[in-house]
Structure 1
Amino acid sequence: MSIASATRLALTLIVVAIAATLAYLLWQRYMNSPWTRDGRVHVKVLKIAPDVSGRIVAVDVKDDEFVHQGAVLFRIDPARFAIAVQQARANLDAAQAALQAAVANVEQSTAAIAQAQAGYAMRKRDAERLEHSQNAVSRQKLADARYRAQAAHAALRVAQAHQAQAQAAHAQAQAALDRAQAALSLAKLNLRRTTVRAPADGYVTHLRTYAGDYAHAGVVSIALIDSHDFWVTGYFEETKIGHIRIGQRAEIHLLDGTRLQGTVAGIARGIANSGGTTGGDGLANVTPTFTWVRLAQRIPVRIQIDAASLPRNIVLAAGMTATIVIKEHGARRRTHRTSEIAGSTT
């Protein structure tokens, strides 16, 4: 073999080796670098449901309209609730009158006890004076004095019983007044709740509520997209999770070409296991698999969007797809992540 042929062969082998090395490195980077095309824009959806039931008389918003916190969304017919307030106020007035009567009865019973105590004390002194008198006293006169003292004592006990009844009636009247006040407060609250307001700034979406509909308490009538709480969830292969840690910077590429910045805010600690069912005898139900290729599971990673990176006129919608690239990764990050996991398991 000539020197020229050997040189060409050596150069060819070198080029092939370099190409193979580059291909291997690129393949490793593709397989292990923390990036994914499987990203979704998410948002906090506020499910607006009324606290009271009734016919809707007015809807004050339109579909896809932006509203500020406290803005009126829709109104429920307030007529029945206004009548309930009037009835509760009348019941409160009656309870207050009953309480005043109970207070008067307590005062009357207290005065009766004072009178009975004075009468008993006087009759008792008369009887004792006759018993210890040095003058001759007939038995009949002494018996009459003792009888009058006993009768006065019985009258005192009756007065004390009447006072106990008056005090119990007063307690019941006070409790009835408290119930009436609570009922009036509830009626006023229900009347205020006939006007349903936005709990946060956001966008009304998929509006399907109209005037004339009947709104049920606790049943969602309007969905409101919170305009201050958008984030992106990236579904990363489990082989790449070791390169990701909370606090790392991330770059978000939307399909329209917009690039946003964000921060890793959380990594899911579990996903559903399709083979985790239990058989009839209480044992694990494991379905055998015969595939040659073992696919990596995808773990959700939450990326909080930096508000400063949002363009002024950008339109973000829940469900948009995005590509996510995690920055600042490498062997040092992998070691740090591994030490965190090891520390949390000990």
Structure 2
Amino acid sequence: MSENIQALPASDAPHSDALRLAKRKKLFALLGAVVGVAAISAGTYWTLVASHHVSTDNAYVAVEMAQVTPEVSGTVREVLAVDTQQVKRGDILVKLDDKDATLNLAQAEAELARAERRVQGYLASDEGLQAQVQARIADQARSNAQLVSARADLQRAELDLKRRQALARSGSVSGEELSNAQNAYSTASANLSAAEAAAKQAEANARAAQGSLKSNQTLTVNTTVETNPEVALARAKRDQARLDLARTIIRAPVDGVVAKRQAQVGQRVQAGSQLLSVVPLQQAHVDANFKEVQLDKVRIGQPATLTADLYGSRVTYHGKVAGLSGGSGAAFATIPAQNATGNWIKVVQRLPVRIALDPAELRAHPLQVGLSMEVTVDTASE
């Protein structure tokens, strides 16, 4: 058996080792070249592309939901919307019982009609009171004239009495004539007193009539039936009652999808209580929560690309940075972190960044609130 084994020449062994060593050097050189090219490529990609983009998968679809609440209290008579239903702005969602509102409107309309008639009465009274004032002024003038006449009669009677008294001493005038003169004087004096009282009464009546006219004019001065404050107040109450009746029909404030419906038929609801929500998905945006170390170059208006877990990478959305939140999520938490405590540990904070989506892309591929998104912002655009 040993005879069949042939030994290799001594000169072939070093040659084989040299070949293996050369081959190994070539492999190492190739590996080094590959690593070098990869490093250069990575550096180039980082310098030209990656350094100008920031990305996060901590992003979710959000929207400004419209809360549907009644503006008047009442009992739910009918509910015309259910969760997930598409509605248009102005569509009727809930009807409240309108019997009380209808009665209030009828009462307000009756009060308005009564106020208008009352003001018309004020205006008519103005004309009557003005006529009364003129009549009282005429009465006062007549009383003053009668007073002047009574004074003249008294002076004449007094003068006649004095002449009779002088003649009576010489016996030229009988006693009867003297008595008649005295009676005439007494009568003239009484008539004067009556005329003075009548003049004062006429003056008082004139002042009373003028006062009544002024008092009535304060209710109508510089106004008509339409502009009078009493009518305006009654009209405002009528309009309020009409508005309350209209508010028993609750309509959708925006286009969207009904969510969180709580209204039930027969339920007694108060003004301001939440009945349901309308989600305007066509106005959805994305809240991307970037780390604070990523926000150095993020500016409003920069373009962003987004993908949704719902559609995967086959659908790409395009948007723009619409704004940065005024504080981190921790700052606005219900129970904010107490960083002043002794066991503080630094945690990288995240700041919500609002990304506005392209409406056309959103219509083509609708999104729902709360869905996960991946966001990349191009920070090269300043």
Q: What is the one-letter code of the residue matched to 1:307?
A: P
Q: What SS does the corresponding residue of 2:198 show, helix, strand or coil?
A: helix
Name which of structure 1's ranges 40-49 and 121-130 shifts more when overlaid on structure 2: 121-130
CA shift digits 1:236-266 (9 cap, x unpaired): 1111112211111111100121211111111
- Evaluate the alpha carbon distance shift between residue 321 and residue 166 of structure 1 in structure 2; reply closer, same or farther with a 3 A threshold: same
C-alpha RMSD of matched pairs (Å): 3.5
- Evaluate the alpha carbon distance shift between residue 158 and residue 260 of structure 1 in structure 2; reply closer, same or farther with a 3 A threshold: same
- Evaluate the alpha carbon distance shift between residue 102 and residue 54 of structure 1 in structure 2; reply closer, same or farther with a 3 A threshold: same
Equivalent positions of 1:254-293 (< 5 A) are 254-255=308-309, 256-257=311-312, 258-271=315-328, 286-289=340-343, 291=345
Equivalent positions of 1:160-199 (< 5 A) are 160-168=210-218, 174-199=228-253
TM-score by length of 1: 0.79
In 2, Cα distance between equivalents of 1:38 and 1:272: 12
Conservation of the 8 A alpha-carbon contact between 2:302 and 2:321: yes
Conservation of the 8 A alpha-carbon contact between 1:32 and 1:239: no
Q: For 2:367, which of 312, 316, 329 is the aligned residue?
A: 316
CA shift digits 1:179-219 (9 cap, x unpaired): 32222111111111111111121111232322222222111
Which residue in 2 is equivalent to 1:299?
351
Q: Does residue 159 of structure 1 match 2:209? A: yes
Which residue in 1 is equivalent to 2:135?
115
Which residue in 2 is equivalent to 1:202?
256
How far did 1:226 drift?
1.5
Equivalent positions of 1:32-181 (< 5 A) are 33-128=53-148, 136=156, 140=189, 141-168=191-218, 174-181=228-235
Q: What SS does the corresponding residue of 1:310 show, helix, strand or coil?
A: helix
CA shift digits 1:144-196 (9 cap, x unpaired): 4443322211111121222234335668x954433322221111111111111
CA shift digits 1:293-319 (9 cap, x unpaired): x5421111111111122353x331100
- Evaluate the alpha carbon distance shift between residue 318 and residue 32 of structure 1 in structure 2; reply closer, same or farther with a 3 A threshold: same
Aligned residues: percent identity?
27
How far did 1:321 drift?
0.7
Which residue in 2 is equivalent to 1:343?
none
Conservation of the 8 A alpha-carbon contact between 1:33 and 1:240: no
In 2, Cα distance between equivalents of 1:56 and 1:177: 34
Q: What SS does the corresponding residue of 2:284 show, helix, strand or coil?
A: strand
- Evaluate the alpha carbon distance shift between residue 8 and residue 252 of structure 1 in structure 2; reply closer, same or farther with a 3 A threshold: closer
In 2, Cα distance between equivalents of 1:25 and 1:286: 43
Name which of structure 1's ranges 10-19 and 244-253 shifts more when overlaid on structure 2: 10-19
TM-score by length of 2: 0.72
- Evaluate the alpha carbon distance shift between residue 12 and residue 63 of structure 1 in structure 2; reply closer, same or farther with a 3 A threshold: closer
Conservation of the 8 A alpha-carbon contact between 1:250 and 1:264: yes
In 2, Cα distance between equivalents of 1:32 and 1:169: 76
- Structure 1 unaligned blocks of 5 or more: 277-283, 337-346
Q: What SS does the corresponding residue of 2:90 show, helix, strand or coil?
A: coil
Conservation of the 8 A alpha-carbon contact between 1:202 and 1:224: yes
Number of aligned residue pairs: give it: 320
Name which of structure 1's ranges 256-265 and 98-107 shifts more when overlaid on structure 2: 98-107
- Evaluate the alpha carbon distance shift between residue 32 and residue 269 of structure 1 in structure 2; reply closer, same or farther with a 3 A threshold: farther
Conservation of the 8 A alpha-carbon contact between 1:33 and 1:243: no
- Evaluate the alpha carbon distance shift between residue 235 and residue 275 of structure 1 in structure 2; reply closer, same or farther with a 3 A threshold: closer
Q: Does residue 240 of structure 1 match 2:290? A: no
Q: For 2:376, which of 301, 312, 325 is the aligned residue?
A: 325
Q: What is the one-letter code of the residue matched to 2:209?
A: A
How far did 1:37 drift?
0.6
- Structure 2 unaligned blocks of 5 or more: 1-17, 159-187
Conservation of the 8 A alpha-carbon contact between 2:282 and 2:362: no
- Evaluate the alpha carbon distance shift between residue 264 and residue 192 of structure 1 in structure 2; reply closer, same or farther with a 3 A threshold: same
Conservation of the 8 A alpha-carbon contact between 1:73 and 1:198: yes
How far did 1:112 drift?
1.1
Q: What SS does the corresponding residue of 1:271 show, helix, strand or coil?
A: coil
